[in-house]
Homo-oligomer: A and B are copies of this chain.
Amino acid sequence: MEWKGELVNEQRTVKVALLGAGSVGSQVARLLLEDGEEFSRRAGAKIELVGIAVRNLDSKRDVELPRELLTTDAENLILQADFVIELMGGISPARELITQALESGADVVTANKALLASHGPELFGIAERVGAQLHYEAAVAGAIPIIRPLRENLAGDRIERILGIVNGTTNYILDRMYSKGDTFEESLRIATELGYAEADPTADIEGYDAQQKAAILASIAFHTEVPLEQVHREGITQVTIEQIDDAKRAGFVVKLLAICERVPGADGAEAISARVYPALVPEAHPLASVHGGNNAVFVEAAAAGPLMFYGAGAGGIQTASAVLGDLVSAARRHVLGGPGLGESMDANLTVLDSGEIRTRYHIALGVTDAPGVLAEVARTFAEHHVSVSTLEQARTEDDHAATIVIVTHLATDGALQRLVESLGELDVVTRIAGVLRVEGGAE
């Protein structure tokens, strides 16, 4: 199928339909209305906003929008458009409307990470079949360019690992716990007050948002379909001030990381892993200095070496910048005659189960302050074939109890989990005060 825009190429007009007018959508509409002429000059075609589909015509919005552009009939609006910008979020009806738009030959720009992480392959398949394009730079890390660099700049390289701080809410909370000493609950309360966290923060603090982004990043980086359910996920609700203090004393900061990496598979074949959890990062690592609500993605590639992409998280205006970048550059490409890049999922690597990943643990143990405790702890490590990198007696809490902090060498996540279970069963161990993984440092 020809791209719809070709039909109107002689007048050189690109008709844009916007679905959704929330915090991102209203900014996209405002910028299109205010700077549309500038964007049109850059694209080489008149970019015209033909309508905005909303659920309720009378909702209060961040930006006042011309009443005559608003409609509740998204399906009819799509029929008039060469480009459809989907910013409704959620799975349905976004999935059906994007399908309709692609099937009609329109290009689609979306920031809908939940939809891409769960139904990406289905939608990319439709786009490829009909020769339309699905753009989604805005879905990960707001305005920070990451999708295009991974897909195009690194197309002739081999991406080994991605460590991403891709959720601003959790980075704000963890940074506040680290720098101010506030508890998780107190930091969350302040994040909510300041607008860094939503009224229901579950998607952020439980890591679901980062999990979706990890699935998207891993699939692009490794040219492999990465189903959301194969991305191991842990949130930050269990992170304590005590853990953050222990980490700080050892020269680390705690960050919620989205990790995508190539790893050896069980059969020696190449495999990949995608996972999300709070982890210790060495203070000297570039990710350690990403403060507040900012995002950053650290990429290691075989030829390019380490790269980092840094910027503000996914606020309304920042995400609007990414959406409009997709729109204007894709419109320009169409005017010049031809589509952009399709997806390539041809590597088709195995996605490793999280238990098979090799990682390092930072373990804080409450122990009785008696002779032979260290020997018993050490014996348990040996039994699980996990070797100790550093061991420190951190605090003596009262006359009969102490805390020891251990950082391990690399071992499989499964072995480390079993080790922690065994430690918990020792008589000399009064409690497992905290367990966090260590990422981004030497082995």
Contact = CB atoms under 8 A, between A and B. Distances in A.
Interface of A: 27, 31, 35, 38-39, 41-44, 137, 142-145, 148-149, 151-158, 223, 286, 289, 301, 303-312, 317-318, 320-329, 332-333, 336-342, 344, 346-347
Contacts of A41: 223, 344, 346-347
Nearest to A324: B156
Say how many copies of this protein the assembly contains: 2
A139 to B, nearest CB: 13
A17 to B, nearest CB: 16
A346 B37 CA distance: 12
Given A148-B152, A321-B156, A341 B312 contact: no
Contacts of A347: 41
Nearest to A342: B336
Contacts of A144: 304, 307
A328 B27 CA distance: 34
Given A153-B325, A303-B318, 16 more contacts: A143-B304, A143-B307, A145-B307, A145-B309, A148-B149, A151-B329, A153-B322, A154-B321, A155-B324, A156-B325, A156-B327, A156-B328, A301-B321, A303-B320, A304-B311, A309-B310
A337 B336 contact: no
Given A304-B143, A336-B339, A329 B152 contact: yes
B333 A44 contact: no
A346 B149 contact: no
B346 A321 contact: no
Contacts of A320: 303
A153 B28 CA distance: 14
7 tightest A-B contacts by CB? A338-B338, A156-B324, A143-B304, A303-B321, A155-B328, A145-B149, A152-B329
B311 A308 contact: yes
A7 to B, nearest CB: 16
Contact of A143 (B145, B301, B337): B301
B301 A306 contact: no
A381 to B, nearest CB: 36
A2 B156 CA distance: 25
Contacts of A327: 156
Contacts of A35: 158
A360 to B, nearest CB: 25
A72 B308 CA distance: 39
Nearest to A152: B329
Nearest to A312: B305
Given A145-B307, A158-B35, A333 B324 contact: no
Contact of A44 (B142, B337, B344): B344
Given A303-B31, A308-B310, A157 B325 contact: yes
